[in-house]
Amino acid sequence: MPLLSTMKRLWIFALVLGVGCAFLPSKAHAQDSVGLIGRGVSKIVGAAFQVPGQVLAQSFQGFPFGIMTGAMSGAFQAVNGVVGGTVDVARGAAPYAKYMVFFI
């Protein structure tokens, strides 16, 4: 006489499989992570072009003060882009941090 009947084993297997599948990450979540990483990298790379772009744009408004205003606003936007990009990359990479134990 078996400990559990075949039907009970099947129900227990289905229950364990169903609960296990409920905690799997969805495809949309993976796409969001990749999107955040891509957006963060583009912000970081784009930050290098903020200072020259703002200096050029502000220099047409007023020659001596436009250059200083453009340099200051460009530096502020560059720091903002680097910090924001770093946060986006960190948010996008956070779900994959648990796999780093395999690379250490």
Question: Tens digits of per-residue pLDDT, 24-74?
Answer: 655 555 567 778 889 999 999 999 999 999 999 888 887 788 889 999 999
Contact indicator for 52, 59 with CB cutoff of 8 Å: no
- Report the distance separating Cα 58 and Cα 50, nearest Å: 12
Helices 50-59 and 63-93: angle between axes, nearest 10 degrees: 150
| Statement: the pTM of the whole predicted model exceeds 0.85 | no
Q: What are phi and psi of 25, to 5 degrees?
A: -70, 145
- DSSP secondary-structure letter at 24? S
Write the pLDDT tens digit of every residue in 73-102. 999 999 999 999 999 999 888 887 777 777
